[in-house]
Amino acid sequence: MNFELTKEFIDELRQRIEQKDEQGAHKMIEDLHAADIADVYDELNIQEARFIHIMLDSEKAADVLIELEQDDRERFLEVLPGDVIAKQFIDKLDSDDAADVLGELSGEKREEVLQYVQNLEQAGDIVDLLNYDEHSAGGLMAKELITVNENWNITTCLREMRKQAEDINEIYYVYVVDDEQKLKGTLSLKRLLLTPSTAKIKDIINTDVISVKTETPSEEVANIMDKYDLVALPVIDPLGRLVGRITIDDVVDVIREEAGRDYQMVSGITEKVEASDNTFQLTRARIPWLFIGLIGGIFGAQIIGMYEHDLGIYPEMAFFIPLIAAMGGNVGVQSSSIIVQSLAYNTLGIGGIGKKLLKELAVASINGLILSGIMLGYNFIAHDSFALTLTVSSALFAVIIFASSFGTFVPLLLDKLKIDPALATGPFITTVNDIMGLFIYLMIGRTLYAVL
């Protein structure tokens, strides 16, 4: 059942916390999902959240911790001693989640927590994971997985699987390795159950297995799991040895983070920010592109100043300056957004920049002809000046062609240069197309008015 967080719920919970009514507060949250409790924490201050957290059983408390936003989690852990973090959270988490939590702490605090981790093998796994780049497959993977040796028989395999399964929450695949721990394939549970107990594992394994290396970028991992509809993906080291697995919940987090980051870039926000960040952080993240937009506006004003004499003679041209600028910006953002989305999901297909430009030029030409034709008809009816009618329609067609080409070319070029193509969308495209649109419009207007 979905939980709806309301102001009335928070007010009642706060009242119980103020009254130190542990039983009543616990009753309100005991049946909630960990993600819902994390949402409740967002509405409470740190002391109120701590009051609630102490009442949770250790398993749910650890799950709630993972559901919290990174900044909230850091603030929450900062007020807890190292032994409490180790015993109540780290010992209850999978190695990948534990590594994520510890990675957010200061070096001194991290060492303090690790000293209290009772399971030395788990502590070693966490330290190994902390050495990987957080944006790589190694940084995403968990160490918990079920592995069997290809030389085992069915009886031995089942016995060892039972032992390993005790420490694993979700079993998606059984991985088969050789004596050197190199990944050989996966094992079907159905074939395992139907095969005679004396048979060797290597005789029934599926060798068609998709894997990634520890250094594979997280975005590529997400694309692979999406393309092949995988719920778990094995990770191997440079020697081909199985070192961990990545599950779908970790990839969903990656996709969400990348989508949020790209959306912020499209909006002209240069840093990762949250609505809860302070005024200085939000200002610092927004000001760079706003400054670029300001410079672009100054250039636009300069271009209009260059054609001041023409506008004085033909003032009716000024009526369509907003239209030309708006259409150029809109077309450019459309083209760049499609290219950036295709690059992000690796659906661009085969072909170089030239092929993509030709396709966008074809689309732009059709759109340009339709929109220019509409403006031609409108001006023919609304205005007596044939020069104005021809100028606006011709300029609109030319601006659409330029904006579409520019919006396609820039993301593709940035991708070739290994720069995030999302930088090319939003304010950048809009600003450049505004400037060039004005220039094209006024230049065509000067030429056609002189001829006609």
* Rounded CA separation 114/117 (Å): 5
Cβ atoms 16, 46 nearer than 8 A? no
Cβ neighbours, 10 Å, residue 256: 10
68 half-sphere exposure, CB direction, 13 A CA radius: 25
Check whether domain 7-140 has CATH 1.25.60.10, yes or no: yes
Rounded (to 5) percent helix, strand, coil in the chain: 65, 10, 25
* Rounded CA separation 383/376 (Å): 10
3-state secondary structure of 404: helix
Tokens of 174: 């059984």
Query: Could you tell me the residue ranges of all domains in the chain?
Result: 7-140, 146-247, 279-451
Which residue bears the tokens 């200085």? 280
In this predicted structure, what is the pLDDT of residue 433?
A: 87
* Rounded CA separation 341/61 (Å): 37
In this predicted structure, what is the pLDDT of residue 369?
A: 95
In this predicted structure, what is the pLDDT of residue 371?
A: 95
* Rounded CA separation 180/424 (Å): 47
How is domain 146-247 classified at the architecture level of CATH? Roll (3.10)
Q: How far is CA 321 from the centre of its chain?
A: 37
* Rounded CA separation 429/427 (Å): 6
* Rounded CA separation 192/198 (Å): 11
- pLDDT tens for each residue of 61-72: 888 888 887 777
284 half-sphere exposure, CB direction, 13 A CA radius: 9
Tokens of 266: 């499209």
3-state secondary structure of 96: helix
In this predicted structure, what is the pLDDT of residue 400?
A: 94
**Amino acid sitting at position 401:** I
In this predicted structure, what is the pLDDT of residue 274?
A: 62
In this predicted structure, what is the pLDDT of residue 176?
A: 95
Alpha helices in 351-385 (DSSP H): 353-382
Longest pairwise C-alpha distance within the chain: 97
3-state secondary structure of 117: coil
Helix axes 58-67, 70-78, angle to 10 degrees: 130
- pLDDT tens for each residue of 352-371: 667 778 888 899 999 999 99
Candidates 1.10.357.20, 2.40.10.170, 1.20.120.80, 3.90.1150.10; CATH matching 279-451: 1.10.357.20
The residue ranges of the chain whose pLDDT is under 70 are 1, 260-278, 344-353, 423-426, 452
